[in-house]
Structure 1
Amino acid sequence: MTLTDGEILLRPIRMRDQREWREVNRRNRDWLRPWEATVPPPAPGGPVAQRPTYRQMVRHLRSEANAGRMLPFAIEYEGRLVGQLTVAGITWGSMCSGHIGYWVDQSVAGRGVVPTAVALAVDHCFRTVGLHRIEVCIRPENAPSRRVVEKLGFRSEGVRPRYLHIDGAWRDHLIFALTADEVPEGMLRRWRRSRPAAPRNPDRPEEMK
């Protein structure tokens, strides 16, 4: 399954993406570090968590996807892999919700890649998957990522104190959300209407959550 809009494509992440994925991630390591989740130190005598290998990560993503709890995507732009978007924490029953996380190569920041990718994922979640609610959780310091959800019309729902362990400490997060009835015309259509006619400055760091 792929989701596309122009040169932007979301598709399942693959084992054979390993070399390209690792290179993009390595090249952007310093840029992404303030926003990527980390594992807290273990309790005294407890097990030490190891960072998963790429293959372990993909197997986990596939297992969660097969269980209906996750939708993992590679982001392509102009035919090359530039990042990742994951709809995670999918809950069914009376909730029917999930949350979106993403990262993108700094070289394509400011070109509308992430807003378009998020819009594609939201439309897929609401129209095809059948979710009712989508959240995006962002560190208050991450102004570029906050601009992404604001441009797409997500509403702010406040702060979750010490919500995720990131860059060595428990960090507060701002919560942004949408329900399906708030975008009856579709998120991608809304974004197309509001996006600037010309690309933004590509040197301006824009998008990582």
Structure 2
Amino acid sequence: MASIIPTLRDGATVLRPIRVRDARELERELLASRAWLRPWEATSPSAPMNWDTKGSIRSLLAGARAGTGLPFVIETDGRLAGQLNVSGMTYGSLASATIGYWVGAGFAGRGLTPAAVALATDHVFFTTGLHRMEICIRPENTPSLRVVEKLGFRYEGLRRRYIHINGDWRDHFCFGLTVEEVPQGVLQRWKSGRVDPTAAEVPEVDRIAARHSIPLPPPR
């Protein structure tokens, strides 16, 4: 079943379906924000960095037609600011998905990313009917960690050498949220100030383990 990609809005933040003709503008923003984004860019262990932006967009749209993804661009005041992808959409007994995102350096700190993540998560929960959303973040990525903290995603654990990022396999902190936790919606809970500020706290043992790449202690 194909995924219908909606246009979602909160104030000046707009999520709209990605288009192949967005490739040039996306490349321009990626290049302008190269130093800002490179530490967090997904790479391949078996291939060089791929700058086939049109090919990447076509692949994302194919995923939407297959019902496994929702690819968006993030806009504000009519300007393309970044990208958000809902991927790994699985139905049935799992009913879950994963979010990944980026915004250009000139758009950081303006509340665009938490608004975009909240909009996408609410759509997945209340329109698509999935049960759980997951976000995995590198321990060093402080801006992204602030996003899950603002929105109240729960910390769920450290994943070792989980995703190939910027040329190597990197540890990630995993955060999750289920629809039962946000009956009023992620966006409304955030806007109303009812987020638990401790939900996204990472235990010190996991921070140390990620920082020094030492084995985790066995479970008790």
Q: TM-score, normalised by structure 2?
A: 0.83
CA displacement 1:27-81 (0-9 Å, x = unmatched): 01111111111101x3xxxxx4662512211110111001111110000011110
Residues 89-168 of structure 1 aligned to structure 2 (within 5 Å): 89-168=88-167
Q: 1:49 to 1:142 in 2, by over 3 A?
A: closer
Contact 1:34 1:167 in 2 (8 A): yes
Q: For residue 19 of structure 1, report the CA deviation from its aligned partner.
A: 1.9
Partner of 2:28: 23
Aligned to 1:62: 61
Compare 79-88 and 12-21 and name the one that shifted more: 12-21
Paired residues in the alignment total 189
Secondary structure (helix, strand or coil) at the match of 1:157 reads: strand
Partners in 1 of 2:97 and 2:11 — Cα distance?
A: 26
Question: CA contact under 8 A between 2:138 and 2:173: conserved in structure 1?
Answer: yes
**Structure 2 residues without counterparts, runs of 5 or longer:** 1-5, 195-220
Letter in 2 for 1:9: V
C-alpha separation between the residues in 2 aligned to 1:19 and 1:29? Answer: 15
SS of equivalent residue, structure 2 residue 24: helix
Are residues 1:2 and 2:31 paired?
A: no
Paired residue secondary structure (1:126)? helix
SS, match of residue 33 in structure 1 = helix
Q: 1:12·1:73 contact (CA, 8 Å) conserved in 2? A: yes
Q: Against the structure 1 CA distance between its residues 25 and 92, is the aligned structure 2 distance closer, same or farther, given a 3 Å change threshold?
A: same
Aligned equivalent of 1:45: none
Stretches of structure 1 that go unaligned for 5 or more consecutive residues are: 43-47, 196-209
Q: Deviations over 1:70-117 (max 9, x none)?
A: 110000011110000000111112101011000001111111000000
- Which gives a bigger RCO, structure 1 or 2 (Cα 8 Å, sep 6+)? 1
Q: CA deviation at 1:18?
A: 1.9
TM-score (norm 1): 0.87
Q: State the SS of the aligned residue for 2:192.
A: helix
1:176-191 equivalences under 5 Å are: 176-191=175-190
Shift of 1:15: 1.6
Q: How many percent identity over aligned positions? A: 58
Aligned equivalents of 2:49, 2:65: Cα separation in 1: 24
Aligned-residue RMSD, C-alpha = 1.3
Rounded Cα–Cα distance in structure 1 between residues aligned with 2:43 and 2:22: 23
